[in-house]
Structures are given as C-alpha cells and as structure tokens.
Amino acid sequence: MAEKLNLEIVSPDKMVLSEEVDEVVATGSLGQFGVLPGHLAFLTTLDVGELSYRKGGATYYAFVNSGYAEVSSDKVTILAESAEKAEYIDLQRAEEARKRAEDRLSRATSGSETIDEKRAEVALKRSIIRLQVGGKVEHR
Amino acid sequence: MGSLRDIRRRINSVKSTRQITKAMKMVSAAKLRRAQIKMTEARPYARKMEDVLHSLVSGVDRESHPLLAEREASKSLVFVITGDRGLCSSFNTNALKGADRLVTELKGQGKSVLASAVGKKARRHVRKRAFDVANEWEGLSGKVDFTVASEIARTAMSAYIEENVDEVYLVYNEFKSVTLQNVVAKQLLPIEATGSEAGSENMEFLFEPSIHGILDQLLPKYVEVQVFQALLESQAAEEAARMAAMENATQAATDMIGALTLEFNKARQATITAELMDIIGGAEAVKR
C-alpha cells in the first residue's frame, strides 16, 4: 500500500502545486472529506473552500475555488477553477472583494437595483473563505 | 539605371523598412515566448481533465448526457480561429482555407453550415464568403484567458443543446514548433470518445454526489478547456508565423540594400569616368 499521497492541484492556467504529502483534507460539495494513503478511488465535485494537507509535522493550507477531486490510493488530483496557496493570497484584495460583495448584497436585498443576488452571495462566500485561508498562514 | 540621387533615396527607404521589420520580429519573439509559457502552463490541467473524463465516460452510457449523445447530423457549426492582424505570412490564409475546405466537405454531405469567427481576419472572410454567421469575437490578440474561452464554449454548447446545430468543429492553427504551424479541424461537439485506452485499469470509482451530477459539471468544463487550448495554440502559432515572416522580410531587405549599393557604386563610377573624359577631351582641344 502506498505510504504517501501525490497531491496535485491544477487550474486552467497553471499547475498550482505538486507534492508528496501524508494527508489531504478538502471541501467537497457534500462536505469536508479527508484522504489518507490507500483511500478508495472516488471522484467528487468540490465546493469553494479550504484545502489543507499535512506533510511531515506541518500543515499547509490552500484556497480552492470549486472544481473536482479525483482520488485514488496514492494520488489526489484537484482540478480547480482557480486555486492559491495560502501564502500567495492577497489579503487586501480579498478584503476589498468582500466589502464589494457585501455592498452589492445589501443593495440586492433592498431591491433598489437589479443585482444578481446569487452571484453576489457566491462572491461573498469566496472572499470570506479566501480571507480565512489567507489568515492561517500568519499564525503558523 | 536610375540617377545617383534616386538610388540613394531607394537605399534609405529600404533601410528604414528593414528597421521596422526587425523591430516587429523582436516584438513577435517576445510575444511568442509569453504565449508559449501560457500554453505549457495550461497543459497539465487539460491533460488531467482528459484522464478524469476518460475514467468517467468509459463507465457511462453515451446517450445519458446531451453533450455526449450523437445525433444524425444535418446542421454543423464551424468555428474559425485566426489572428486580428496580418503580416504573418500564410498563418491566417491557411486557417481560412482549412475552414473553406471543411465547409465544402460538410456541404457536400448535405449539411447546412453555420460559421463563427474568432479574430478579425476570420470575421472578414466569413462575411465575404457569405456564410451564415453565428457569432463573432475579435480583439483577443495577446489577451486570451479562460473567461473568453468559456464564453465561446458556452455559445457552442447552448447551440448544441438547443439542437440549433448537431455538431461543432474548431478550425485553427496548431503550434507544432517555432517554424511549423499546422491547420487542424477538430470536432468539439459531440464530445468524442477520449483516446488513450491504455493505462485505464477501469477502476471502480465512487461518485459524489452522483455520476450524472459530476458529468453535468465536468463535460462543459472539458469543452471550455478544449477551446482554451485551441485559442492558446493559435496565438502562439500566430506569433511564430509573424516572427518567421519578419525574419524573411529583414533578410530580403538586406539583400536588396546590397544590390542597390552595387548599382549605386556602378552609377557613381560611370559618372566619374564620363567627367574625366570631358576634362581630358577639353584639355586636348586647348593644346591644339
């Protein structure tokens, strides 16, 4: 049985990460799931969320903006719409995005303008999670 | 043989042309490098996607998803991808010729053909040939990104799903190497059985939420990735073609300057000889 997992995260415009890791925890569309070496092969869609992986004693974080995960006994492949390692997240930009999304959402609920409420909600969720993941890198 | 001044003027004009072509070559080289980097960065995703899709599709009935199901084709949609600008030797014409060939072939099979243009050159051609135009994009040079690709892919998919068309093709220049571009016509929809049978051990997968839920999301994404790849290839191929064309032009200008300089020197020599004859003739006359 495999001892390690080969984790690969790719987004349409580049390879974000490719590493040997011990454990992966990701956010599936049906909730969080953890993968250890020797996992049963499965395929799932991913929600906007946090992905963490353990390598040696340290845990690392990354932001994944929806996509798919293909899991086999020694490999985890994440096909993400977009993804960033925690240390590359631009907190300031994420914060601005959050404010913008909140603003749009409040205007949408007041009904004064025609704003796609669902889109604003997704944008808000994305920016909040991005902030969360980005915040984790400093406390390490 | 022109007068001295004419020749000198021509030399200068060719020289300044050469300067321009040289500069354009440099610019293209830089753009090519950027396009190539983008292309290689996008490759892993496309490859993984194909792997995942392959293990998925092998386990399902093709008829179960609209994007996979093959129908009797009577209406085709052809996407022609070219650049916005010329001066790149046969890059644009090749793609357009390829498109014409495909259209004739499809029409020969009794299908009606719609065309969509990506790039200014394609648009002009498609309009002139009075194809039925479906959609147009332009101004993409140097700024191809995934958003544009998915927009193009979505129009193709919605036309397909609403049964406005029964099959969709892409015609574009494939980037083989810096010196070689190749026009290809590729079927985009319905999604063909993905190749590479080898290596698939036909693993039993668990699917979450369900295989159809995943297919619903994955297949459109796959089409988008295909379009994205085609756009990136075409872009790299365009810059490569332009670079080669400008290299040739620079070389031709250098040759021409050489020839003109020779002509100039000959003409100068001839004038000097004529003047000498005059002087000598005059001196002889005075002596007598």
- Say whether both A49 and A117 belong to one domain: no
End-to-end, the C-alpha distance of chain A in Å comes to 32
- Say whether both A35 and A83 belong to one domain: yes
- What kind of architecture, by CATH, is found in domain B4-24+245-287? Orthogonal Bundle (1.10)
CA distances from B68 to B107, B166, B169 (A): 23, 11, 15
Give which of B154, B150, B160, B142 is closest to B232, Cα–Cα: B142
- Say whether both A61 and A114 belong to one domain: no
Residue pairs between chains A and B whose CB atoms are closer than 8 Å: 73
Q: Quote the minimal CA–CA distance from A81 to chain B in Å.
A: 9
Q: How many CB atoms lie within 10 A of CB B200?
A: 12
CB B71 within 8 A of CB B207: no
Average pLDDT for A55-69: 87
Q: pLDDT above 90 covers what percent of chain B?
A: 36
CA atoms within 13 A on the CB side of A118: 0
pLDDT of residue B13: 95
| Pairwise CB contact (< 8 Å): B209 & A30 | yes
List CB contacts (< 8 A) between B205 and chain A. 41-43
pLDDT confidence of B203, banded at 50, 70, 90?
A: low
Residues on A contacting B at a C-beta cutoff of 8 Å: 8, 10-15, 28-30, 40-45, 68, 70, 72, 77, 79
Task: Report whether pLDDT(A131) > 70.
Answer: yes
List CB contacts (< 8 A) between B221 and chain A. 79
CB A7 within 8 A of CB A41: no
Question: What is the C-alpha radius of gyration for chain A, rounded to an integer number of angstroms?
Answer: 17
- Say whether both A129 and A80 belong to one domain: no
- What kind of architecture, by CATH, is found in domain B39-194+201-244? 3-Layer(aba) Sandwich (3.40)
Where do the domains of chain B lie? 4-24+245-287, 39-194+201-244
| Pairwise CB contact (< 8 Å): B206 & A28 | no
Supply φ then ψ for residue A2, to 5 degrees. -65, 145
Q: Quote the minimal CA–CA distance from B44 to chain A in Å.
A: 7
| Pairwise CB contact (< 8 Å): A79 & B55 | no
Task: Report whether pLDDT(B221) > 90.
Answer: no
- This prediction's pTM: 0.80
Q: Among all residues of B, which ones are annotated catalytic?
A: 88
Q: pLDDT tens digit string along B36-83?
A: 998 888 888 888 888 778 777 776 777 777 887 777 778 888 898 998
Question: What is the C-alpha radius of gyration for chain B, rounded to an integer number of angstroms?
Answer: 29
- Say whether both A9 and A70 belong to one domain: yes
pLDDT confidence of A140, banded at 50, 70, 90?
A: very low
Look at strands B206-208 and A42-46 and give their pairing: parallel
- Say whether both A80 and A96 belong to one domain: no
- Say whether both A93 and A83 belong to one domain: no
List CB contacts (< 8 A) between B48 and chain A. 8, 10, 70, 77, 79
List CB contacts (< 8 A) between B38 and chain A. 13
Residues contacting B256, CB < 8 A, separation 6+: B14
pLDDT of residue B200: 45
- Say whether both A27 and A56 belong to one domain: yes
Best of A43, A70, A78 to disrupt the B interface by mutation (most B CBs within 10 Å)?
Answer: A43
| Pairwise CB contact (< 8 Å): A68 & B218 | yes
Q: How many CB atoms lie within 10 A of CB A40?
A: 12
> What is the total count of domains within chain A?
2
pLDDT of residue B199: 43
Residues on B contacting A at a C-beta cutoff of 8 Å: 38, 41-42, 44-45, 48-49, 51-52, 55-56, 145-146, 203-209, 213-214, 217-218, 221, 224-225, 228
